[in-house]
Structure 1
Amino acid sequence: MRPSVLVVTRDKDISADPVVAQLIGRGLQVARFDVGDFPESLTQAAYLIPGRGRWTGSLKGAHRDVDLSTVRAVWYRKPAPVGIHPGMTETETQWATAEATAGLGGLLAALPDAHWVNHPDRNKAADHKPRQLALADACGLTVPESLLTNSPERARAFCHSNRETGVIYKPLTGGPGRQSGEPVALWASTVTADQITEGVARTAHLFQVRVPCAYAARLTVVGRQMFAVRIDTPTGSSAVDWRSVHDHLAYTRIDVPDSVADGMHQLMQTLQLVYSASDWIVTPDGVWTFIGDLNPNGQWAWLEQQVDVPISEAIAEELAKECC
């Protein structure tokens, strides 16, 4: 039977479409499923026969079936949570959700010959800014002096001692998500000692010494390939975080310095990742500074619309290499 690539993502993930098209164009068999389809419209039937050392069987979806023995690569994008039937009690829902997650997730994790981009366990382990910063530093990359604290006193002292360069507050996650039904995002922003309130004591906060910025850079890594894009904010803009002025940015493809490439390859190997998208500050002196924003499942499609960066092709190539 022909080898298969399993694409695990949401039905309306338009970023996955060009990669799927690339895979099909290479003559590969592609099966696309969403974890959210399970168990309502996605059926698994897997058998462990003693002596074979592996599960055999199939996944059957509304539009495509896949023989598990043919899966050679898995692209784990951004699937929805498992979709449990709404007619259950709260206790039943909690139990069914846990069982479904462990059952389907465990089966996928047990695929012995699959090349993952990336394995969800690796994504979860890598998605912690404090760990990223420490490992990046250990890999020889430049990082800013940082403070992780819930102490208002320590935060004020950090801001005071770095008042000449300035201090940035960075959220450790994307923000609260929604408030009163409306999307809410937190951006990196400058902060001074007199702006630190006792509210800092209520959760963890990350503060960093502000790095002089000539421009920002987005670095996408796919296997051994790297794609860097310079991101310039509008002239006169005081935005610290370029995402806050996303509709007014200018993009230019640039080269990655050898020292950054070497350190990044080492960091990717340490985190056991195949794919990542990370954000950098490049100083007027040309020093690339890793600011602790490495997303193991970060977006890239909007960059392909702006500049010539064949990231979709590189992802397809990475998945396809195990099928040849």
Structure 2
Amino acid sequence: MTSAARPVLIVAEQLDAAADMVVDQLNQRDIPVIRFDAAVFPQQLTLTAGHGSTELGWTGVLDDGHRTARLEDVRAVYWRRPGRSAIADTVPEPYATWAQNQADAALLNLLAALPGVRWINNPHHDRIAAHKPQQLTTATHCGLRVPRSLITNDPKAAQAFAKQIDAPIICKPILGGRLPVEEGRSLMVATHYVNAKEFDDSIRTTAHYFQEAIDKAYEVRLVAVGDQVFGGTLHTTSERARTDWRTDYKHIEYGTTSVPDHIIYGVRRFLAYYGIVFGSFDFAVTPDDEWVFFENNPAGTWAWVENRTGLPIAAAHADYLQGDTE
């Protein structure tokens, strides 16, 4: 099979703007694409893979009923927040959960075992790269400035940290995600300012993640894809948005910025440390033009950055997934 005919697998939810944009870019390049959500496996997607005693890799077929891909021909996988495998309702518990775990492991681990396949990103690496406490350590080793931070369930330690900082501090989740409030509704726990005078034994309820509040001229959603780096700026015009821009999209003005060389170098080192090629990084830029790293989401959103700024992020994904076409 010629290189141009080797397919790219896009594994994403059906309604995903980023996946749509990457598919469009690959179609423009005449690169075959097979897109599916992992949630359709095993009921609507058939996987058959074999490995001989002397073969170098798995061979077989993925078939969604409309298109097929030979595993040995796959050139790249874009693993973009797919759902979990869905087991037929006729399977009772605990067997349904067991079967779901089997299906999840089979699909992901077989694809991960294919030799020479490019990934954005391999989820095995993503899981480690998403750990926020380790991110601060890694970012510091990579030459990036980070906020002074404390994780604790001890109110006295939190009070001592606030006294040491002697400036406003914020509290943020250690682990992302939303709280299910009621059926059909969820609640995002946003970054928020805290008053050290109000610290009490309620801090012992769980681990709290405190940071010094960084004085921001603006924020940057920095998107890195392979060797390409894009800086989308967020100038906030309300106090809510300045604290956590995700809580007040109406008061954000979007733009672009060039990324300083030392930040590009640090971001590339950061990605290399985790063995990933994509990241959505959050930075603050201070009034003194110093960049401060907050966190990286290895499966973060970026379609809104391209849509509001015109930065060619989808094309950068296609560049990487296409790879060598010779």
Bin of the TM-score, shorter chain as denominator length? over 0.9
Q: Counterpart of 1:206 in 2: which secondary structure?
A: strand
Aligned to 2:305: 303
| Aligned-pair CA distance for 1:189 | 1.1
Q: Distance in 1 between matches of 2:325 and 2:173?
A: 40
Q: Distance in 2 between matches of 1:60 and 1:210?
A: 51
- Does residue 135 of structure 1 match 2:138? yes
| Shift in alpha-carbon separation, 1:64–1:228, aligned structure 2, 3 A | same
- Does residue 79 of structure 1 match 2:101? no
| Aligned-pair CA distance for 1:195 | 2.6
Aligned to 1:228: 231
When the two chains are superposed, the root-mean-square deviation of aligned CA atoms in Å is 1.5
What letter is aligned with 2:19? Answer: A
Aligned to 1:316: 318
Any gaps of 5 or more consecutive residues in structure 2? none
Q: Distance in 2 between matches of 1:266 and 1:283?
A: 23
Aligned to 1:19: 22
Q: Distance in 2 between matches of 1:208 and 1:236?
A: 18
Q: Distance in 1 between matches of 2:67 and 2:202?
A: 51
- Does the CA contact (< 8 Å) of 1:72 and 1:323 recur in 2? no
Q: Distance in 2 between matches of 1:276 and 1:239?
A: 22
Q: Which of 92, 95, 100 is the equivalent residue of 1:97?
A: 100
- Does residue 279 of structure 1 match 2:300? no
| Aligned-pair CA distance for 1:148 | 1.0
Q: Distance in 1 between matches of 2:45 and 2:198?
A: 51
TM-score normalized with structure 2 length: 0.95
What is the total number of aligned residue pairs between the two structures?
322
Q: Distance in 1 between matches of 2:153 and 2:163?
A: 16
- Does the CA contact (< 8 Å) of 1:217 and 1:280 recur in 2? yes
Q: Distance in 2 between matches of 1:227 and 1:11?
A: 26
- Does the CA contact (< 8 Å) of 2:255 and 2:309 recur in 1? yes
Q: Distance in 1 between matches of 2:260 and 2:40?
A: 43
- Does the CA contact (< 8 Å) of 1:157 and 1:193 recur in 2? no
| Shift in alpha-carbon separation, 1:235–1:14, aligned structure 2, 3 A | closer
Q: Counterpart of 1:15 in 2: which secondary structure?
A: helix
| Aligned-pair CA distance for 1:46 | 0.8
Deviation digits for residues 105-130 of structure 1 (CA, Å, limit 9, x no counterpart): 22111111211110010110100110
- Does residue 289 of structure 1 match 2:292? yes
Q: Distance in 2 between matches of 1:249 and 1:289?
A: 19
- Does the CA contact (< 8 Å) of 2:238 and 2:251 recur in 1? no
Q: Following superposition, which runs of at least 4 residues in structure 1 exceed 6 angstroms of deviation?
A: none
Aligned to 1:259: 262
| Aligned-pair CA distance for 1:247 | 2.4
Q: Which of 124, 129, 132 is the equivalent residue of 1:121?
A: 124
Deviation digits for residues 258-304 of structure 1 (CA, Å, limit 9, x no counterpart): 1111111111111111000011111100000001x200011111111
| Shift in alpha-carbon separation, 1:160–1:275, aligned structure 2, 3 A | same
Aligned to 2:181: 179
- Does the CA contact (< 8 Å) of 1:160 and 1:192 recur in 2? no
What letter is aligned with 1:228? Answer: G
| Aligned-pair CA distance for 1:235 | 5.6
